[in-house]
């Protein structure tokens, strides 16, 4: 359940997670594209103006902006926004930041830390080690 992303950010290839729901959607896209003769068997899943070339970064940016507009998102967005959102959601779900580092293809952890903007909800959910000490529990007898 991995996608191979060729020539991604930094010109490097990397693997990305593929959800079962997205796989189903991509299969329908591929099948429908062939039925309509828009996708070529040896071409790209997301072709550009020509079946033999991938979608351009400019066109991808336009697609993301239009999707955000359709969804009623007023903020400025682009494909890179999806990386930030991906990292933030994983972090909020409790995924270790080193795993997120690998998924984003970062060589350095501090690069990942820039992406992983910690949401207030996540910070509130952290339990202080002091809260686990018996010193602060009301059912413990007072010292003395």
Predicted model pTM: 0.67
Nearest to 101 by CA among 82, 87, 85: 87
Instruction: In whole angstroms, give the CA distance from residue 30 to residue 113.
Output: 36
How sure is the predictor about 2, in pLDDT bands with cuts at 50, 70 and 90? Answer: confident
Instruction: In whole angstroms, give the CA distance from residue 67 to residue 6.
Output: 23
How sure is the predictor about 137, in pLDDT bands with cuts at 50, 70 and 90? Answer: low
Mean pLDDT taken over the chain:
83
| pLDDT recorded at residue 60 | 93
Query: pLDDT tens digits for 43-92?
Result: 888 999 888 888 998 999 999 999 999 999 999 999 989 888 888 888 88
Q: Which helix (H) or strand (E) holds 2?
A: strand 2-5
Helix (H, G, I), strand (E, B) or coil at 14: strand
Length, in residues, of the chain: 144
Helix (H, G, I), strand (E, B) or coil at 135: helix
More confident residue, 103 or 26: 26
How sure is the predictor about 30, in pLDDT bands with cuts at 50, 70 and 90? Answer: very high
Instruction: In whole angstroms, give the CA distance from residue 16 to residue 21.
Output: 15
């Amino acid at each position: 359940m991995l996608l191979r992303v060729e020539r991604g950010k930094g010109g490097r290839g990397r693997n990305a997670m593929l959800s079962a729901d997205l796989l189903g959607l991509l299969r329908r896209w591929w099948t429908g594209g062939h039925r309509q003769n828009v996708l070529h068997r040896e071409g790209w899943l997301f072709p550009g103006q020509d079946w033999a070339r991938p979608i351009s970064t400019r066109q991808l940016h336009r697609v993301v902006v239009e999707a955000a507009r359709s969804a009623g998102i007023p903020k400025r967005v682009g494909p890179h926004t999806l990386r930030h959102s991906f990292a933030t959601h994983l972090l909020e779900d409790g995924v270790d930041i080193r795993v997120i580092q690998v998924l984003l293809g970062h060589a350095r952890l501090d690069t990942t830390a820039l992406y992983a903007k910690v949401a207030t909800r996540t910070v509130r959910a952290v339990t202080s080690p002091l809260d686990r000490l018996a010193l602060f529990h009301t059912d413990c007898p007072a010292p003395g």
